[in-house]
Structure 1
Amino acid sequence: MTPVYRQVLGSDFDRLHPNVAWRYSIDSTSNVAQMGTGMLESVYISSALPPPFFWYYGKRNALPSKTSRMVPFTQGHYCYRDEIGRECLAVLRSFDYTTGPRKLNSVLVSGRTGLVDYFGDGPELLYPIEPSVTPAGELLLESGPLRWLGRGPKIGMKGPFATQMKYIEGWDEEHDRFRCDATVRNPMVGEILHFRGWFTVSDVACELRDIPDEAWPLNLVDREA
């Protein structure tokens, strides 16, 4: 199989910094997982949205739970093919707040028309993803408008309700580690959330039977738009 980002980026994948390319070169035939540990220097949750919104989606591992700084975190990458044959990259994140860990889980799927990122246990949220490579060799992910999938509020995701995500990951030569910066914005509210920081990564042998149960959403969703 071909790793999900190489499938979409094609020859542009080779413009990634070598360490970023290494990080995203595993697929469902690699028998490898990647484990990252690091520090989120800033986690921000907007106060403009009602607390039940973040409580609901936080409980379903679809959003961070609160604003903080210097939050240790871990991140695991696991690759597999789902029941309908799509190549998948599951990303299991744990934000280790002083009040206890909270998780942010997603599954990136190489779908029929491109990449789709499903967030949360349900999954709860869907983002169509457009990847690109920056001149500095960073991986840049920009989403189309958010789609709701779970049992939460159902409102149109157009115009003032459109919510989009931007994620950038690159290599910090000075400190010999990765950096990440994720932001979700809405045209009315502005910045809804962000998390940014640094981490290191190592390969770990991982066969299909070793992949954690939470790497699979509770429901198989073939909706991609």
Structure 2
Amino acid sequence: MTPVYRVALGSEFDRLHPNMQWRYGIDSTAGVAQLMTGLIESIYITPAFAPPLVWYYGKRNAMPSKTSRMVPFEAGNYCYRDELGRECLAVLRTFGYSTGDRHLNSVIVDGRDGFVDYFGDGPELLYPIEPSVTEDGSLLLESGPARWLRGPKISMRGPFVVQMKYIEGWDEKHQRFRCDATVRNPVIGEILHYRGWFTAVDKPMTTAEIPDEAWPFRLIDRET
């Protein structure tokens, strides 16, 4: 199989920094997972975001749940093919808040018509993703409007639009990866962000050893 990012980027994949190519060069046949450890220097949740929504999506591991700084961070990347035959990359993130661990889980899918990122254990949200490579070889992900995956098939439009931007690259000076994720709304502005650094290692792993949390509760074939 071909890694989901190589499919999505095509020949642009080769413009990524070599360490970024290594990061995103595994697929479901590789027999490895990738484990990350680092520090999130800043997590922000806007106070304008309704507390019940923060609680709801936080409980379902679809977003960080509170503003903080200097939060220990761990994550794992796990590749598999789902029941629909799609190549998937599950990303399980753990934020080590002083009040206890909180999680942000997502599954990136090489879909029928493009790149799709499902967020939350449900999953709860769907982001259509447009990946690209920056001049310095970093990976840039920009989303279209998010879609709710609970209830009627509707997208968030107009004042309800929610869009994500994520950039990850190699920090040559400190010999580690940096990440910066932001979610914005045209009315509220910045809804949330998290940014920081991490290191990564490969670990041999069979499909049977992948954590259960890497599979959403429901198989969703919707991609738009």
With structure 1 as the length reference, what TM-score do the two structures score? 0.98
Match for residue 85 of structure 2? Answer: 85
Aligned to 1:57, the other structure's residue is in SS state helix
The residue type paired with residue 18 of structure 2 is P
Structure 2: gaps of 5 or more residues: none
Aligned to 2:28, the other structure's residue is in SS state coil
Q: How far apart, in 2, do the equivalents of 1:13 and 1:35 lie?
A: 21
Match for residue 141 of structure 2? Answer: 141
Q: How far apart, in 2, do the equivalents of 1:170 and 1:138 lie?
A: 4
Match for residue 28 of structure 2? Answer: 28
Deviations 1:92-118 (A, max 9, x none): 000000000000000000000111000
Aligned to 1:11, the other structure's residue is in SS state helix
Aligned to 2:54, the other structure's residue is in SS state helix
Q: How far apart, in 2, do the equivalents of 1:45 and 1:150 lie?
A: 22
After TM superposition, give the deviation of residue 154 of structure 1 in Å: 8.3
After TM superposition, give the deviation of residue 150 of structure 1 in Å: 2.8
Match for residue 114 of structure 2? Answer: 114
Classify 1:224/1:155 alpha carbon distance in 2 versus 1 (closer, same or farther; 3 Å): closer
- Which 4+ stretches in 1 moved above 4 angstroms? 153-156
Asked if the contact 2:62/2:106 (under 8 Å) is kept, the reply is yes
The residue type paired with residue 187 of structure 1 is P
Aligned to 2:135, the other structure's residue is in SS state coil
The residue type paired with residue 159 of structure 2 is P
Q: Does 1:96 find its partner at 2:89?
A: no
Aligned-pair Cα RMSD in Å: 1.1
The share of aligned pairs that are identical, in percent, is 73
Match for residue 173 of structure 1? Answer: 172
Classify 1:13/1:155 alpha carbon distance in 2 versus 1 (closer, same or farther; 3 Å): closer
Structure 1: gaps of 5 or more residues: none
State the number of aligned residues: 224
Asked if the contact 2:126/2:147 (under 8 Å) is kept, the reply is yes
